[in-house]
Structure 1
Amino acid sequence: MSPTQIAALIAAGAFVLLVLLLAIPLLKLARTLDEATVAIRKAHENTDPLLHGANDTITHVNTQLERVDGITANAQAVSGNVSALSSVFTATLGGPLVKTAALSYGVSRAVRARRKAKSDGGNKHVLRRVRGGK
């Protein structure tokens, strides 16, 4: 055997050893990719029912929001009617009620003043003050 043949055999052996050393990480990488593929497939299969459930939930929430919208519209109409009713009440009965309250206040004050005047012994200046005199 010549020295070139021995060198070629050593180079060939080194190349085979290099290929074997590189094959081990490549095989491990292939297994990892297979496991990742299986995990992605399982995740895809499990998300379908989850998305259907989320869709049903959103549909239910939209239905409830439509009901709440109807309730708010009715409440707004009722508050508008109450506002109109209070305006009518104020316009119709507010003025006379204020006048009646003022009259009853004045009458009760005059009655108190007369009673006080009688209890003071008929003091004339108290009676004049009630009648509007000086």
Structure 2
Amino acid sequence: MSGGDIAGLIAAGVFAVLVALLAVPLVKLGKVFDQTTDSIKDVSDGITPILEETTETLRETNKQLARVDAITRNVQDVTGNVSALIALFAATVGGPLIKLAGFSAAVRAAFRFGRPRKGDHAE
């Protein structure tokens, strides 16, 4: 063996050690990628039921909102009917009550007019 052969063997040994040292982080990096892949798969599997439940919740919420909308329309109709009934009652009863109040005020004034006042003395 010549000096060049020995130098070649030493260089090959050093290269093998360097490859071995670089292989360890690459193997660890591969494990990290495997774990990341497993985590993404688990998260994906967990999100699917959550999305299905959310979709069902939104469907039920939309049904309830449609019911509330119908109730609101009915309340609006009832409010309009009550308002019309109050206006009719006021027109029917209000006018005669005002006339009755005016008449009673006139009668009171007439009775007061005929009575002597406290300060007046009959002589």
SS at match of 1:30: helix
Moved more, 100-109 or 42-51: 100-109
Q: CA deviation at 1:88?
A: 2.1
Q: TM-score, normalised by structure 1?
A: 0.75
Matched to 1:83, the amino acid is S
What's the CA shift string for 1:51-73, capped at 9, x where partnerless? 22212211111111111001000
What's the CA shift string for 1:31-50, capped at 9, x where partnerless? 11111111121222222222
1:57 aligns with 2:26: no
- Return the alpha-carbon distance in structure 2 between the equivalents of residues 76 and 110 of structure 1: 49
Q: TM-score, normalised by structure 2?
A: 0.81
- Return the alpha-carbon distance in structure 1 between the equivalents of residues 22 and 109 of structure 2: 113
1:120 aligns with 2:118: yes
1:100 aligns with 2:93: no
- Return the alpha-carbon distance in structure 2 between the equivalents of residues 51 and 90 of structure 1: 57
- Return the alpha-carbon distance in structure 1 between the equivalents of residues 109 and 21 of structure 2: 116
**Cα gap change, 1:123/1:13 in structure 2, threshold over 3 Å: closer, same or farther?**
farther
Q: CA deviation at 1:92?
A: 2.7
**Cα gap change, 1:35/1:122 in structure 2, threshold over 3 Å: closer, same or farther?**
same
Q: CA deviation at 1:83?
A: 1.7
**Cα gap change, 1:53/1:123 in structure 2, threshold over 3 Å: closer, same or farther?**
farther
**Cα gap change, 1:65/1:123 in structure 2, threshold over 3 Å: closer, same or farther?**
farther
Moved more, 61-70 or 9-18: 9-18
Aligned to 2:18: 18
Q: CA deviation at 1:114?
A: 5.5
Aligned to 1:68: 68
Aligned to 1:32: 32
- Return the alpha-carbon distance in structure 2 between the equivalents of residues 23 and 73 of structure 1: 73
Counting aligned pairs with the same residue, the percent is 45
